[in-house]
Amino acid sequence: MSQTDPEVIAAPRPWERKSWIERITPTLGLQGKLLLCFMALLTVALGASCIIFMSQTAQRLDDILGQQTQQLATALAFTCADSMELGDAGRSELMLAAGDVIKGRNIVLVAFYDTEGKLVAARGRDPDFEVRPMPRQSLAAQLLMQVQHRESRVFGKYVEVVAPVLTSPTKDRLADGVATSPGVRILGYVSIGLASQYEASQMARINMMVIGAGCIVAFISLPMAYLLVKRIFSPIHQLLAATKKIIAGDLDMHVAAHRRDVIGDLASSFNEMAVWVKQQQQDVALANLQLAEANRDLEQKVEQRTSQFEIANKRLSQEIAEKEEFLRAVSHDLNAPLRNISGMATILLMKHKEQFDEDVIHRLERIKSNVDVETDLISELLELSRIKTRRQKLEIVDTAQIVWELRGLFENDLRSRGIDLVVDSQLPMLNAERARVRQVFQNLIDNAIKYMGDKSPREIHVGCQLRANEAEFYVRDTGLGIDPEDVEKVFFVFRRGKSTATQNIAGKGVGLASVKSIVETYNGRIWVESKLAEGTTFRFTINGMFVGGEANPMASAAAAQFAQDGDDDDEASAEPNGVPQPTAA
């Protein structure tokens, strides 16, 4: 989707999806943000003060109005007690009393009720007001002398108090509106409604004055806050100007630091920093000069070392070529006489066997057998010497398949000796030389079969444990075990165990040395864990770059490394005329 598509043009930009405060805040400087915060705090403080003042004054007005209504109701009940006691004869007096009381400011209702709650006399300022009989629940003792909030369409909200009219009032006649003195009885009830319209208007006017005063204070505080912030930031602006001059290269710039506050400390620290930076710049310049001289000396030494390394590499390549030539000569010069000896012994046995006695035949067979052993030993030694110098092509190797093939190779030995070959875990794929991997497992399994012994159980276990950067293989047997003195020597050439049981077992002493050399080729290590008469475990590791086959991202790097090593070895083992030497099969 291109930038000119209608959907892209109509899509909201990231800044358009932000709120207005998020879009404005980044454009303000530190002074503007401080002023904005100051005005916000001032506005919140004034607003909260006004709200608290208005709520408190309204609450206080309601309390005063309720107290005033209670006092009026009590006084009217006291003065009209005689008229209420006269019954219907005193109704006219009650009407006159109600008329006199209704003339008072804020009084909107005066009503007299008998003990049953029936209306006796009433006066009200609201022409639509209709006085009805008082419900019995309203005459309950707990509701007498309580402030009740009412509302009228003409006068708005008002409060109403119902007071009892008693026969012989005394100073302790009421306790929360209940007659307590003996002989006192209730003659009726008087209800007075008192509106707060005038006081409410006055209070609203006062509230508006308070709000106006708060706005004036906020308006006056804005320039004062601006001047204060500007004065506070003036030294910071000076520091900023000095910083720009230092960036331009004027390291002699200093800021006046006569204040005894944090700004003064900052200015003093800035001056010290300028001096330190100047000193550091001088030190860096001196160090650069010294470094340039050291680099020149180092380049000369590197050139000398490079020349020496080139000479050493050429010498090493020549020595490797000579070694290969020597190995080829040894292989040819030693194998040729041995083959002749073996051939002559074979011919003698084939043509003149009937003419020889048993001792001669036995000696000729021993000669032929020893020649075969020596020939195999020479081949193995040549192969051991070429493990690290004659690299083969890397390929995906299924170690489980190799173990299965070796099971078939050693099938007769395993079956004849009653040995079980067990694979304990799934074996991974390797990106390695197939012949070398097979050689490792073949030598280890062959050793386990040879040194199994006669006790039960007879088992060989093969397994692997994968880790983050390597794979650890093991070949464990339940055989004779290795003497602790021989554990560290088993990987040396021609080193074998000294016990009588191991001396009687055929072997050349080269197999484990070959295994160790192959494992080290793959950046691994090999070690042995053994107990006499209990068994032996050979463990070896393969670097993680060779584990996992093609799925391993480091496989290509490992292949490139092997290819480079192989090219170097081929060049080193070549004849002077460029023709490569033959290698062992």
Residue 436: predicted pLDDT? 92
pLDDT at 358 over 70: yes
Name which of 370, 371, 372, 385 is nearest 328 in CA terms.
Answer: 385
Name which of 128, 113, 118, 201 is nearest 160 in CA terms.
Answer: 113
**Tokens representing residue 125 in the block:** 């300022």
Asked if 346 and 404 count as a contact pair (C-beta separation under 8 A), the reply is no
Higher pLDDT, 333 or 290: 290
pLDDT at 80 over 50: yes
pLDDT at 575 over 50: no
Considering the chain, tell me which residue range(s) the CATH 3.30.450.20 domain(s) occupy. 14-250
Which residue in this structure is represented by tokens 């011919």? 347
Query: What band does 582 get if pLDDT is binned at 50, 70 and 90?
Result: very low
DSSP lists the bridge partners of residue 106 as: none
Q: What is the mean pLDDT of residues 73-82?
A: 84
Residues 6+ apart with CB under 8 A from 179: 164, 166, 173, 185, 186
> 106-118: per-residue pLDDT in tens?
788 888 888 887 8
Q: What is the mean pLDDT of residues 12-29?
A: 59
Q: What is the mean pLDDT of residues 452-457?
A: 88
Q: Does domain 392-571 have CATH number 3.30.565.10?
A: yes
Tell the CATH topology of 14-250: Beta-Lactamase (3.30.450)
pLDDT at 541 over 80: yes
Q: Are strands 119-124 and 148-152 parallel, antiparallel or unpaired?
A: unpaired
DSSP lists the bridge partners of residue 188 as: 165
Instruction: Give the side-chain half-sphere CA count within 13 A for 513.
Output: 18
Higher pLDDT, 429 or 87: 429
Residue 217: predicted pLDDT? 83
pLDDT at 63 over 70: yes
Name which of 373, 535, 531 is nearest 448 in CA terms.
Answer: 535
d(CA 122, CA 110): 6
d(CA 408, CA 61): 108
Residue 466: predicted pLDDT? 94
Long-range contacts of 33-42 (CB under 8 A, 24+ apart): 34/229, 35/222, 35/225, 35/226, 35/229, 38/221, 38/225, 38/229, 39/218, 39/221, 39/222, 39/225, 42/217, 42/218, 42/221
d(CA 338, CA 564): 37
Averaged confidence pLDDT in the chain: 78
pLDDT at 566 over 60: no
Out of 13-27, 167-181, 191-205, 232-246, least confident range? 167-181
**pTM, full prediction:** 0.44
d(CA 75, CA 359): 157
pLDDT at 511 over 70: yes
> 199-227: per-residue pLDDT in tens?
777 888 888 888 888 888 888 888 888 78
Query: What band does 476 get if pLDDT is binned at 50, 70 and 90?
Result: very high
Higher pLDDT, 464 or 147: 464
pLDDT at 242 over 50: yes
d(CA 387, CA 320): 14
> 264-306: per-residue pLDDT in tens?
777 778 788 888 888 888 889 899 999 999 999 999 999 999 9
Residues 6+ apart with CB under 8 A from 267: 235, 238, 239, 255, 256, 257, 259
Q: What is the mean pLDDT of residues 461-477?
A: 95
